[in-house]
Amino acid sequence: MKRVLSSVITVVISFCLVAGFTPASIAKAENIKVGAILAVTGGASFLGGPEARTLEMMVEEINAKGGINGNKIDLIIKDSGANPEKAISFAKQLIEEDKVFAIIGPSTSGETMKIKNIAEEARMILISCAAAEVIVNPVAKWVFKTPQKDSDAVKKIYGTMKDMGISKIAVLTGNTGFGNAGKGQLEAIAPEFGIEILASEVYDKKETDLSAVVAKLMANKDIQAVVNWSIVPAQGILAKNMRQAGWDVPLFQSHGFGNIKYVEAGGAAAEGIIFPAGRLLVAEDLPDSHPQKALLIKYKNDYEIRCLGEECSTFGGHAFDALTILVAGIKKAGVVDKEKVRDAIENLQGVAGTAGVFNFSPEDHNGLDINSFEMLTVKDGKFAIYNK
């Protein structure tokens, strides 16, 4: 009897192996631990707060539907407060102690660059919610990001300036990883569009008054417009300081401006600000045939209902995209195996997200192009498509 049973087991195992099933894939479903390092509190909470709430909402919905291929998600959120040293500590904790399958975040570029090599060395899937292009350029095998490229944002801004007849500008940047990366792109791409940067100023990310910088720039009468590149409350402060000084040149912001709270902080001074962003902020204005519209409307409505009327932002959208990509990679791989899921993510095509339609490749770990951007403006205290 034992010999017969042993023979049957051997045949079953052999059949499974021939069919492509491994012991891991035929094991019972287990929860998938997903870590997230987000700036839920602190100066970058406009980013991390919406990201955390988005992930919690998505995980609840996914688990309520049975999980991913029967595997439910255990979400572990670490609040870094946008502190790079905390991000390093949390990354090591998530990898070594919590044994997570993947990490989403961090919220900021500076934090992401601090843990990029940690993820690489640990062979840990990292899908950043931060925007700086250096996160994925050069490509790192295990690191991906969901916000659009800095260089494409700069090109959209400069293209709009060219249409407006603007060629001489001032550049202001925050002293963060995102600010430093943006400054580099603004300077490198300017000649391509015939843009001359007449002045460039860097301010502290904790700055609460930029009136002295504004006065300095105003002294140069040749400046036709200002570009500010940051992800901190100073975005709104700058607008106020410019208008209080009676300086009415156009103010352009980076794609880090995509949270209505920045508009609220700027008040009436925020009117007319121009910036590139994904289409989430103007989802209702898209044609019904647009490949992103249904997804954008659903996310927007779900988030605002869950968060008691809090308007969604592009930042929450970055987390939405990160988890969407991870889930798509697991489904494509068909097995909860880091190497196979990493390979699957690297080859995902046509995945609709809030930032655009993602098409990854071994050479591109962002998967978005310049067409993922729309130029927006602030009109009557709301975001609207910018009409030239």
List phi, psi (to 5°) of 254: -80, 180
Q: Please determine, for residue 199, whether its predicted confidence score (pLDDT) is greater than 50.
A: yes
- Closest-CA residue to 269 (of 228, 315, 304): 228
| pLDDT of amino acid 106 | 98
| pLDDT of amino acid 296 | 97
Q: Please determine, for residue 6, whether its predicted confidence score (pLDDT) is greater than 90.
A: no
Q: Please determine, for residue 27, whether its predicted confidence score (pLDDT) is greater than 80.
A: no
Mean pLDDT of 182-187: 97
Q: Quick one: 354 and 312 in the same domain?
A: yes
Q: In this prediction, what percent of the chain has a pLDDT beyond 90?
A: 89
Q: Quick one: 250 and 306 in the same domain?
A: no
Q: Quick one: 61 and 110 in the same domain?
A: yes
* Residue 13: inside a domain: no
Q: Quick one: 167 and 101 in the same domain?
A: no
Mean pLDDT of 184-197: 98
Q: Please determine, for residue 197, whether its predicted confidence score (pLDDT) is greater than 80.
A: yes
| pLDDT of amino acid 231 | 86
Q: Please determine, for residue 83, whether its predicted confidence score (pLDDT) is greater than 50.
A: yes
What end-to-end distance do the CA atoms of the chain give, in Å?
83
Q: What is the extent of the structural domain holding 133? A: 32-148+293-369
CA distances (Å), 68 to each of 33, 62, 229, in order?
Answer: 12, 7, 38
Q: Quick one: 343 and 259 in the same domain?
A: no
> Which amino acid, 296?
L
| pLDDT of amino acid 26 | 42
Structure tokens at 148: 């659009």
Q: Please determine, for residue 10, whether its predicted confidence score (pLDDT) is greater than 60.
A: no
Between 13 and 385, whose confidence is greater?
385
Mean pLDDT of 163-181: 96
Per-residue pLDDT of 314-355, as tens digits, reads 999 999 999 999 999 999 999 999 999 999 999 999 999 999
Report how far residue 105's alpha carbon sits from residue 36's, in angstroms, rounded to the nearest whole number: 6
Q: Last residue of a domain, which of 222, 243, 277?
A: 277
Band (pLDDT 50/70/90 cuts) for residue 233 is: confident
| pLDDT of amino acid 29 | 63
Q: Please determine, for residue 7, whether its predicted confidence score (pLDDT) is greater than 70.
A: no
Q: Quick one: 53 and 75 in the same domain?
A: yes
| pLDDT of amino acid 22 | 45
Beta-strand pair 32-38/357-358: unpaired
Q: Quick one: 168 and 233 in the same domain?
A: yes
Q: Quick one: 134 and 48 in the same domain?
A: yes
77 strand-pairing partners: 36
Report how far residue 22's alpha carbon sits from residue 303's, in angstroms, rounded to the nearest whole number: 39
Q: Quick one: 162 and 252 in the same domain?
A: yes
Per DSSP, the three-state class of 146 is coil
Per-residue pLDDT of 271-290, as tens digits, reads 999 999 999 999 999 999 99
Per-residue pLDDT of 235-249, as tens digits, reads 999 999 999 999 999
| pLDDT of amino acid 20 | 43
| pLDDT of amino acid 18 | 41
Q: Quick one: 39 and 98 in the same domain?
A: yes
* Residue 14: inside a domain: no
Mean pLDDT of 359-374: 97
Report how far residue 47's alpha carbon sits from residue 178's, in angstroms, rounded to the nearest whole number: 13
CATH assignment at residue 187: 3.40.50.2300
| pLDDT of amino acid 388 | 72
Q: Quick one: 97 and 170 in the same domain?
A: no
CA distances (Å), 26 to each of 21, 29, 31, in order?
Answer: 6, 9, 15
CA 93, 99, 103 angle in degrees (round to 5)?
A: 75
Q: What is the total count of domains within the chain?
A: 2
Q: Last residue of a domain, which of 252, 277, 302?
A: 277
| pLDDT of amino acid 21 | 43
Do the beta carbons of residue 165 and residue 141 sit within 8 Å?
no
Is the previous residue joined to 138 through a cis bond, with omega within 30 degrees of 0? yes
Mean pLDDT of 170-182: 95
Q: Please determine, for residue 200, whether its predicted confidence score (pLDDT) is greater than 70.
A: yes
Q: Quick one: 97 and 70 in the same domain?
A: yes
Per DSSP, the three-state class of 121 is helix
Q: Please determine, for residue 1, whether its predicted confidence score (pLDDT) is greater than 80.
A: no
Q: Last residue of a domain, which of 277, 305, 334?
A: 277
Strands (E), 177-304: 196-203, 225-229, 251-253, 274-277
| pLDDT of amino acid 315 | 95
